[in-house]
Chain A
Amino acid sequence: MSEEKRKDAVQVTVEFSGGLEMLFEHQRKLQISMAKKGEEVPNVAELVSHLCNDVMKDSRKDLFVLDGTVRPGILVLINDADWELEGEDQYELQEGDNILFVSTLHGG
């Protein structure tokens, strides 16, 4: 069963920090399964739209996504590295990846 599941989906861990967890019902860590479309592997852009459209229950969507991508002030980290080092939203998800969304803080 799980063997079969692995063939047509990618399991990733999604984490939120810096207050973004409040937009996701105070969950800091989620296990997300992204379906493959045939040979096509889902990328981070698709993960972001899935999180925004299907997972996020808060109506304040623009606190997470603005103009079709993650809003300014949020860093996306793929396996503890800035996504700019990994191809940004075109990075193709791999089984077991850790995707961390960090909102910048300004308080002091």
Chain B
Amino acid sequence: MTTVSVVESLRQQIATCETQLGYLRQQLAEAEHLQQQRRLRGEESVRRTTDYDPLAHDMSYGLSDDFRSEIFAALSHAEEEQQEQSVQRWPLDRTEYKRYGRQLIMPEIGLQGQLRLKNASVLIVGVGGLGCPAAAYLVGAGVGTVGLVDGDVVEESNLHRQILHSTPRIGMTKVDSARVALNSLNPNVRLISHPTRLSPESAIATFQPYDLVLDCTDTPASRYLISDTCVLLGKPLVSASALRTDGQLMVLNNPPRAKGDGSGGPCYRCVFPKPPPPESVVSCGDGGILGPVVGVMGVLQALEAIKVITAEQPGVNGNSVRPTPADSPSLLIFSAYANPMFRSIRLRARKPKCAACSTQASVTPDALNSGSLDYVQFCGSINPVNTLSANERISVDNYAKIRMEVNPFTGMEPSRDSHILVDVREKVQFDLCSLDGSINIPFSTVSSVLTKEASEVESKWASELRSHSDKPIFVLCRLGNDSQLTVKRMKELGLDNGGQRWIGDIKGGLRAWRENVDNDFPEY
């Protein structure tokens, strides 16, 4: 780039930023005005930390995403204020008729449905891949109060699926980042921040003020905790999850009848009385996730929440036609690459001996509040793999020396060919980036069992390694766990020639390699 074009580009960027600052200042003034109006109207003021303002954050740390929406938001505030004098004439504000018009004219919603949404409060636990789209649609639909629980901050690897967050807001708490986006989407919704991880001790107090809860979290422990709390407080729960190309959705504890009442909907413990073994639990970070897959599930959570909120209350005679929600509990399974993509499964009713929702329940408010229910222990955790002895392992620094340093006896020759480097990540990961000279034997291949017939014709990978019986084998993976298990497996197969050949793992895997040896090696 020439100096002239650099100067010109900088001028343009400064001009753009100044314009944007102007818009933001205008929006801030409008927002402050609106806040003051709300206080005058005697509304409960929005709970927020005193030293934080999402608009101020955007001004100092990042640029707003969409000027047009900001301007419209500002304009709609002005319009709303004009309307406040004639507020009692119609059940909704004039701006609300306009904003929600497309759903108001549907018999499933209608005026009563919209008023129910407006009076409803929904708690969204987890503002990630599920929580972002769910929150966007509920705020867009005009749910009166939306609470957001999350203790994490926005990371770059979140952005392909967590649609409320944005590049300039990396490092901001997810709750604050979501507030900026949601406030811009619909400033009429009261947003409540809970910028901490949900704990058993805080769960009841956090859930108490809300009508309905969305489980948008990502661990078994939080799923049991959220379900138990909903059962104790009698709140319906919309639970979803997603991994790779699959998603699952359940509406639980709906209707939320008293403990032991078989006509109430099942809870998470009714469906899954025992937690899965921790080694079977795969996170999105390890297994991967396709953005639209988790997006679909979050959108469906918003849909189910709207259906629960706007459902005809029993004993109330409304004159609008509304389909009754499906009575029998079900699990919706989504598989992006199966045909058909959606499948609905009939689930069991409440379990007569459920630990949470039966008369024999051991989950009680006291047990929860006192912290005596240890959900993390209940679900277990994987201990870091540590199956090898010290002389079967090598640090990344020492391995780097083996790769790079010249052999002091033979002169210049690097010793890269002196050994075999086996990378046991799955092929798709190996293809993303790998160390020069490494060969790929995916862990899934290493783990597959040798049947009686197959053991005679030994697996190709094993016989190839056997054919170079003189060279030591270094095993590498992403984080350093699968590599240890592979070393064990290779020795079981006798690839070490009864201890003649060294086989060991590279400690900490490619993560340690990047941190200690080659900062350029991609992180994914």
Question: Which residues from chain A sit less than 8 Å from chain B, CB to CB?
Answer: 17-19, 22, 25, 28, 56-60, 62-63, 66, 71-75, 77, 80-82, 84-85, 100, 102-108
Could you tell me if A105 and B248 are in contact, using CB atoms closer than 8 angstroms?
yes
Give the segment of B16-24, B82-90, B344-352, B462-470 that binds chain A.
B344-352
Could you tell me if A71 and B280 are in contact, using CB atoms closer than 8 angstroms?
yes
A-B contacts, 8 of them at CB < 8 A, read: A18-B246, A58-B444, A59-B447, A71-B276, A72-B274, A75-B271, A106-B241, A106-B281
- Cα–Cα, bound, A62→B279 (Å): 9
Could you tell me if A104 and B241 are in contact, using CB atoms closer than 8 angstroms?
yes
- Contact residues, B221-280 vs A (CB, 8 A): 223, 240-244, 246-248, 271-277, 279-280
* Residue B219 interfacial (CB < 8 Å): yes
Question: Which residues from chain B sit less than 8 Å from chain A, CB to CB?
Answer: 126, 128-131, 215-220, 223, 240-244, 246-248, 271-277, 279-284, 287, 289, 294, 331, 333, 335, 338, 343-348, 444, 447-449, 451
Which 5 A/B pairs are nearest by Cβ-Cβ distance? A73-B276, A72-B274, A107-B284, A105-B241, A107-B243
Known: A57-B449, A66-B277, A72-B276. A108 touches B242 (CB 8 A): yes
Collect the chain A residues with CB atoms within 8 Å of residue B276's CB. Answer: 71-74, 103-104
Could you tell me if B345 and A80 are in contact, using CB atoms closer than 8 angstroms?
yes
Could you tell me if A108 and B280 are in contact, using CB atoms closer than 8 angstroms?
no
User: How many contacts A-B (CB < 8 Å)?
Assistant: 123
Could you tell me if B275 and A73 are in contact, using CB atoms closer than 8 angstroms?
yes
Could you tell me if A58 and B272 are in contact, using CB atoms closer than 8 angstroms?
no
Could you tell me if A107 and B294 are in contact, using CB atoms closer than 8 angstroms?
yes
Q: Which has the most chain B C-beta neighbours within 10 Å: A17, A75, A103, A106?
A: A106
Collect the chain A residues with CB atoms within 8 Å of residue B243's CB. Answer: 18-19, 105-107
Collect the chain B residues with CB atoms within 8 Å of residue A75's CB. Answer: 271, 331, 345
Task: Quote the shortest CB–CB distance from A8 to chain B (angstroms).
Answer: 25
Known: A82-B346, A82-B348, A85-B346. A107 touches B447 (CB 8 A): no
Task: Quote the shortest CB–CB distance from B226 to chain A (angstroms).
Answer: 11
- Cα–Cα, bound, A82→B390 (Å): 48
Task: Quote the shortest CB–CB distance from B71 to chain A (angstroms).
Answer: 34
Known: A58-B449, A102-B333, A104-B248. A85 touches B280 (CB 8 A): no
The residue of chain A having its C-beta at the shortest distance from the C-beta of B279 within the complex is A63
Collect the chain B residues with CB atoms within 8 Å of residue A103's CB. Answer: 276, 280
Known: A17-B246, A59-B448. A107 touches B283 (CB 8 A): yes
Collect the chain B residues with CB atoms within 8 Å of residue A72's CB. Answer: 272-277
Could you tell me if B246 and A81 are in contact, using CB atoms closer than 8 angstroms?
no
Task: Quote the shortest CB–CB distance from B441 to chain A (angstroms).
Answer: 15
- Cα–Cα, bound, A68→B524 (Å): 38
Q: Which of B216, B280, B335 contacts A17 (CB 8 A)?
A: B335
- Cα–Cα, bound, A75→B155 (Å): 33
Could you tell me if B131 and A108 are in contact, using CB atoms closer than 8 angstroms?
yes
Collect the chain A residues with CB atoms within 8 Å of residue B220's CB. Answer: 73, 104, 106
The residue of chain A having its C-beta at the shortest distance from the C-beta of B134 within the complex is A108
Task: Quote the shortest CB–CB distance from A33 to chain B (angstroms).
Answer: 19
- Cα–Cα, bound, A71→B280 (Å): 10
- Cα–Cα, bound, A84→B247 (Å): 22
Taking A72-B272, A73-B277 as given, write out 13 further A-B residue pairs in contact, using a Cβ cutoff of 8 Å, ordered by the A residue number.
Answer: A25-B448, A59-B449, A66-B277, A71-B276, A80-B345, A82-B346, A85-B346, A102-B248, A103-B280, A104-B241, A106-B223, A106-B241, A107-B287
Task: Quote the shortest CB–CB distance from A40 to chain B (angstroms).
Answer: 27
Collect the chain A residues with CB atoms within 8 Å of residue B284's CB. Answer: 107-108
Could you tell me if B448 and A58 are in contact, using CB atoms closer than 8 angstroms?
yes
The residue of chain A having its C-beta at the shortest distance from the C-beta of B275 within the complex is A72
Q: Which of A73, A82, A104 contacts B347 (CB 8 A)?
A: A82
Task: Quote the shortest CB–CB distance from A47 to chain B (angstroms).
Answer: 18
Could you tell me if A73 and B219 are in contact, using CB atoms closer than 8 angstroms?
no
Could you tell me if B447 and A58 are in contact, using CB atoms closer than 8 angstroms?
yes
Q: Which has the most chain A C-beta neighbours within 10 Å: B274, B331, B345, B347?
A: B345
- Cα–Cα, bound, A80→B342 (Å): 12
Known: A19-B246, A80-B344, A108-B216. A73 touches B280 (CB 8 A): yes
